[in-house]
Amino acid sequence: MSTHSLKTWPEYFEAVVDGSKTFEVRDNDRGYRVGDTLLLKEWAPHKTAVGGRYTGREVEVTVTYVLDDGQFPALLTDRCAVLGFRHLPTCIGEVAS
């Protein structure tokens, strides 16, 4: 099993933290598998002139289901995957000002 560190924009990060979002749609360039850990790192995309920065908040989730293009090629583009997950311990870090 692998751990994948992923940028997550604030509105999607908040939905994961409050439990209303229990999936990710990602390019499956990493070969995601059930049992993998996703380390979702909050990314503020327009906070600096260089295009963004991490806020310092992170949350870990465990992949419980992988739906990929092989299962529904008409709906999911090549290498796209929907990753169902469950929460691990709560959000780590604070929002940087």
Mean pLDDT of the chain, nearest integer: 84
* pLDDT tens, residue by residue, 46-65: 766 567 888 999 999 999 99
Sketch out the chain's domains with CATH numbers: 3-87 (2.30.130.30)
CB 84 within 8 A of CB 65: yes
pLDDT of residue 89: 57
User: For residue 80, with 0-12 CB atoms within 10 Å meaning exposed, 13-18 middle and 19 or more buried, which class applies?
Assistant: middle
> How many beta carbons lie within 10 A of that of residue 74, not counting itself?
5
Q: What pTM, to 2 d.p., does this model score? A: 0.80
- Nearest-angstrom CA–CA distance, 24 and 2: 16
* pLDDT tens, residue by residue, 67-76: 886 666 666 6
Q: pLDDT: is 7 or 79 the higher one?
A: 7
